[in-house]
């Protein structure tokens, strides 16, 4: 790993300033994606600006029908939070299924979303749970946040500060996990709202997406049978040695059905 200057500011404003001063600055969240990348010399930042001292980026609270989670909240904190378990239990369970206990103790919501791994779990929740992503300067709706493979709407010097999830009537996340890494081969968050059903999908394609055909079918009737005969074109999906596009297309309706079944209890 190449050496760098290390900074640990205590406010977002200070972090932004440090990031802009650096010739090639990068934010450090829990380090669970960035450190493996740095160890392989796949990135060589001049400066790392750690968010671990920025207390305003932590914490979980409810405001009306929204659950707000700070960017520097760890997966373990989300999984254990009484507030999350009461308001959106499926989100607590999703967080509890990320990687392993040690990854969950360090990895953060903001880091996961900014990294935008195509197989990460949280992107399905952001899309399925009708979230908005808050940054130091603006609000980005879920549908405009994920823009491609490891690509998001964030500017290089933009700090993700919090995510507002809309509390659903009911929801569930079903993931077919990679046997090696626990990342999602296909992960589906299904959420029912008074205005309709949302289906957020991760793992299947180069970036997370909503399965709108399944949303219409489930809005008409929220039952596993509503998905009968529904398929997703494999052409748009990812092929890896672990799972071909055809296999992912096969898994997508199955995981969606499982999520609906779980949501119905």
Partner 1 sequence: MSRVTLQVNGKQVSVVVEPRTLLVELLRDKLQLTGTHVGCDTSHCGACVVHVGGRSVKSCTMLAVEADGATVTTIEGLAQGGKLHPMQESFHQHHALQCGFCTPGMIMSAIELVETRPHADEHETREWLEGNFCRCTGYHNIVKAILSCRDAMREKSA
CB atoms within 10 A of CB 244: 14
> What mask of x and - would describe binding to partner 1 in positions 1 to 20, judged by CB under 8 A?
xxxxxx-x------------
Give the Cα separation of 183 and 7 in Å (integer). Answer: 30
The listed partner (partner 1, ligand FAD, none) that binds 159, CB under 5 to 8 Å by sort, is: ligand FAD
The listed partner (partner 1, ligand FAD, none) that binds 206, CB under 5 to 8 Å by sort, is: none
Return the closest-CA partner of residue 114 out of 93, 140, 88, 77. Answer: 140
In the complex, least distance from residue 130 CB atom to ligand FAD, rounded to whole angstroms: 19
Indicate whether 181 belongs to the interface with partner 1 (CB under 8 A): yes
Indicate whether 182 belongs to the interface with ligand FAD (CB under 6 A): yes
Evaluated on CA atoms 261, 262, 263, 265, the torsion sign reads positive
The listed partner (partner 1, ligand FAD, none) that binds 52, CB under 5 to 8 Å by sort, is: partner 1
Choose which of 18, 51, 60, 88 interacts with ligand FAD (CB under 6 A).
Answer: 51
Q: Which is nearer to ligand FAD, 110 or 226 (CB)?
A: 110
Would you say 159 and 79 are in contact if contact means Cβ atoms under 8 Å apart?
no
Give the Cα separation of 241 and 5 in Å (integer). Answer: 38
The listed partner (ligand FAD, partner 1, none) that binds 112, CB under 5 to 8 Å by sort, is: ligand FAD
In the complex, least distance from residue 15 CB atom to ligand FAD, rounded to whole angstroms: 9
Q: Which is nearer to ligand FAD, 112 or 226 (CB)?
A: 112
CA 203 to each of CA 90, 121, 149: distance values in angstroms, whole numbers, following the listed order: 18, 8, 11
List residues binding ligand FAD (CB under 6 A).
26-34, 36, 51, 71, 98-99, 103, 106-108, 110-112, 114-115, 117, 120-122, 154, 159-160, 181-183
């Amino acid at each position: 790993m190449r050496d760098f200057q290390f900074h640990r500011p205590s406010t977002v404003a200070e972090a932004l300033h440090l990031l802009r001063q650096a010739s090639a600055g990068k934010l450090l969240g829990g380090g669970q994606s960035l450190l493996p990348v740095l160890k392989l010399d796949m990135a060589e930042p001049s400066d790392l600006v750690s968010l671990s001292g920025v207390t305003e980026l932590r914490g979980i609270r409810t405001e009306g029908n929204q659950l707000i989670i700070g960017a520097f909240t760890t997966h373990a904190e989300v999984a254990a939070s009484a507030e999350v378990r009461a308001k959106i239990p499926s989100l607590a369970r999703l967080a509890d299924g990320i990687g392993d206990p040690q990854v969950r103790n360090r990895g953060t919501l903001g880091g996961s979303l900014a990294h935008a791994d195509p197989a990460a779990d949280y992107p399905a929740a952001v899309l399925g749970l009708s979230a908005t992503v808050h940054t130091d300067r603006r609000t980005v709706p879920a549908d405009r946040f994920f823009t491609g493979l490891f690509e998001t709407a964030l500017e290089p010097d933009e700090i993700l500060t919090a995510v507002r999830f809309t509390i659903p009537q009911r929801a569930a996340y079903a993931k077919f996990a990679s046997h090696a890494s626990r990342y999602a081969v296909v992960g589906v968050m299904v959420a029912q709202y008074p205005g309709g059903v949302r289906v957020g999908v991760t793992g299947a394609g180069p970036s997370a997406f909503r399965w709108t055909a399944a949303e219409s079918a489930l809005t008409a009737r929220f039952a596993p049978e509503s998905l009968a005969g529904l398929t997703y074109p494999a052409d748009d999906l990812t092929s890896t040695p672990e799972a071909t596009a055809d296999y992912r297309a096969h898994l997508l309706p199955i995981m969606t059905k499982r999520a609906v079944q779980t949501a119905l209890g």
